[in-house]
Amino acid sequence: MDNFDIHAVAESERRAVSDTVRAALLTGPITDDVYESEIESWEHGDFLAAWDGERCVGNVGAFHFDTSVPGGARLKTAGVTEVGILPTHTRRGLLTSLISRLLIDARSAGNNLASLRASETPIYGRFGFGLAGDTVSAVIDARRARPLRCDPPSGTMRVLERHELLSKVPPIYDSSRWRVGTVNRPDWIWPHKLRAALEPAPSRFGKGTFVAAHTSDAGEDDGYVLYEVEWDEDFADNPTGKGRVFDLWGASPAVELALWDYALGIDLVVVWRAEPRPVDDPIRLAMFDSRAYETRQRLDEQWVRLLDVDAALKRRTFGPTDKSAVVEVDDPMFTENCGRWTISRAGAQRTDAKPDLRVDIATLSATYLGGVPWSGLAASGALSDAPTEALSDLDALFAVQPAPFSGTMF
Ligand SMILES: CC(C)(COP(=O)(O)OP(=O)(O)OC[C@H]1O[C@@H](n2cnc3c(N)ncnc32)[C@H](O)[C@@H]1OP(=O)(O)O)[C@@H](O)C(=O)NCCC(=O)NCCS
């Protein structure tokens, strides 16, 4: 690789670095106001840039998160972000140098996992990331969806006032992380996430963005839906509305059904688009006509890399089977992650026993959250010569229900 200067981004360098990342991600220069509102998040992460003389030519970053893993533990996670190399400098090894150093630093700082959302799927496998969970986007015909087949929802709904949003919504999200793969949302995320609901519209026409909260019969706020509604003038003969669900979290699946029941019952809205949603969203089967929920796109969501295999395996739980398996792991980046582990319902232990299966770190990382079956990976050709019995034992040990889902973009 050419001799580029790579160092941690100083505050005075952030504007140049963020201009570079935006250029790599196909967006142009921004005004000072927009820059100020975007850059605040950089206070909460670690950023590493490459310089060719005076010019910033590439960057990688990591926000500080935790990730929910099977059994409920929340593992310290480097949320890899702001990855971009200027088009003049791609394919010269810059990402390789930057991300290797970022991951080494992240492991030293005590992160058990790294996690990211990829612009393209071929980029990160070589650095040990595995595709650990998908999302779907759905289009829903509101008039065919109701009445829902579940019991009538309990509790009450109310539309939150703008001044309540930043205090009411974050705690509801925190108590709704029952799915594996969710990440915490630090304070700095919320003004971005809720921006459209927080800011009054510049015109009396156009979209409206709202947050409606669910309150249980016991008086607890235990769910919310962030949504946008819009009159659609295109339907000239039968003016009508459309809506989008951006974020919907409840303390239980039943609360989430209550939130859906509210949204799907909003007058004038005949079609909803919802994304990102979990691949096993309970609302689909709760609909009067389940074909009212049409999955339009299934995409990779979270790419996970185990930074500390021993800690990560020990901090998740495994399925209630009497079977066990010995897995040998190879990680070219971290020798500490190389070795064999016996996996059983009692947990994971280092061992010298003969392995049932050998895997690279990206494959182990893909299976870690429990949403990607070992047997499925083997069927795709990702695990050569894996004995069928060991695969089904590992499936039983690793699998989780419901499917992993993050729902948080960074
Ligand atoms: C993706 C990106 C960061 C790669 O940076 P880079 O400095 O060119 O990557 P490297 O030179 O270190 O490439 C390392 C290897 O990955 C491969 N690779 C890199 N980007 C790839 C891509 N988009 N698709 C397929 N392979 C890719 C390279 O060919 C190289 O393979 P090799 O080792 O077999 O030769 C850069 O192309 C970029 O900024 N793209 C646009 C913005 C973007 O998508 N950012 C990621 C946001 S999640």
Kindly state whether residues 294 and 146 are assigned to the same domain: yes
> What is the distance between the alpha carbons of residues 222 and 254, in angstroms, rounded to a whole number?
11
Kindly state whether residues 148 and 41 are assigned to the same domain: no
What percent of the chain lies above the pLDDT cut of 70? 98
> What is the distance between the alpha carbons of residues 174 and 76, in angstroms, rounded to a whole number?
16
Kindly state whether residues 278 and 335 are assigned to the same domain: no
In a domain, 167, yes or no: yes
In a domain, 76, yes or no: yes
Amino acid identity of residue 319, one-letter, is G
* Residue 285: strand, helix, or coil: helix
Residues 345 and 318: beta-carbon distance below 8 Å: yes
Write down the H helix ranges in 80-129.
Answer: 94-108
In a domain, 127, yes or no: no
Per the model's pLDDT, the better-predicted residue between 98 and 231 turns out to be 98
Cis omega before residue 239 (within 30°)? no
Distance in Å, CA 303 to ligand 1 centroid: 16
The structural domain count of the chain equals: 3
Q: Could you tell me the pLDDT band of residue 46, with boundaries at 50, 70 and 90? A: very high
In a domain, 125, yes or no: no
Distance in Å, CA 91 to ligand 1 centroid: 6
Q: Could you tell me the pLDDT band of residue 235, with boundaries at 50, 70 and 90? A: low
> Which of 241, 269, 300 finishes a domain?
300
Task: Please report, for the domain that includes residue 223, its CATH number.
Answer: 3.40.630.30
Q: Cβ atoms within 10 A of the Cβ of 117, count?
A: 18
Kindly state whether residues 336 and 272 are assigned to the same domain: no
At residue 234, does pLDDT exceed 80? Answer: no
Kindly state whether residues 173 and 283 are assigned to the same domain: yes
At residue 1, does pLDDT exceed 70? Answer: no
Kindly state whether residues 253 and 376 are assigned to the same domain: no
> What is the distance between the alpha carbons of residues 117 and 302, in angstroms, rounded to a whole number?
5
In a domain, 85, yes or no: yes
Mutate to test the pocket of ligand 1, among 19, 25, 91 (most ligand atoms within 8 A of CB): 91
Kindly state whether residues 285 and 168 are assigned to the same domain: yes
Nearest CA owner, ligand 1 atom 5: 95
In a domain, 126, yes or no: no
Pocket lining: 22 vs ligand 1, CB cutoff 6 Å: no
Nearest CA owner, ligand 1 atom 36: 85
At residue 339, does pLDDT exceed 80? Answer: yes
> Which of 300, 326, 354 finishes a domain?
300
Kindly state whether residues 270 and 361 are assigned to the same domain: no
Residues 228 and 246: beta-carbon distance below 8 Å: yes
Which stretch of DSSP H or E encloses residue 247? strand 240-250
pLDDT at 232: 73
Residue range 198-220: mean pLDDT, rounded:
92
pLDDT at 224: 98
At residue 323, does pLDDT exceed 80? Answer: yes
Kindly state whether residues 142 and 286 are assigned to the same domain: yes
Longest dimension (CA), the chain: 73
Kindly state whether residues 81 and 229 are assigned to the same domain: no
Output the CA torsion sign for 403, 404, 408, 410.
negative
In Å, how far are 56, 87, 323 from 374, measured between CA atoms? 42, 37, 15
Mutate to test the pocket of ligand 1, among 1, 6, 83, 95 (most ligand atoms within 8 A of CB): 95
Distance in Å, CA 15 to ligand 1 centroid: 23
Nearest in space to 273 (alpha carbons), one of 139, 148, 89, 135: 139
Kindly state whether residues 270 and 330 are assigned to the same domain: no
At residue 81, does pLDDT exceed 90? Answer: yes
Distance in Å, CA 127 to ligand 1 centroid: 11
Nearest in space to 275 (alpha carbons), one of 243, 304, 251, 252: 243
Mutate to test the pocket of ligand 1, among 60, 85, 409 (most ligand atoms within 8 A of CB): 85
pLDDT at 206: 81
> Which of 277, 300, 323 finishes a domain?
300
pLDDT at 202: 81
In a domain, 327, yes or no: yes
Task: Please report, for the domain that includes residue 327, its CATH number.
Answer: 3.30.1050.10
Distance in Å, CA 410 to ligand 1 centroid: 19
Atom of ligand 1 nearest to the CA of 86: 39
Kindly state whether residues 158 and 223 are assigned to the same domain: yes
In a domain, 406, yes or no: no
Boundaries of domain holding 103: 5-116
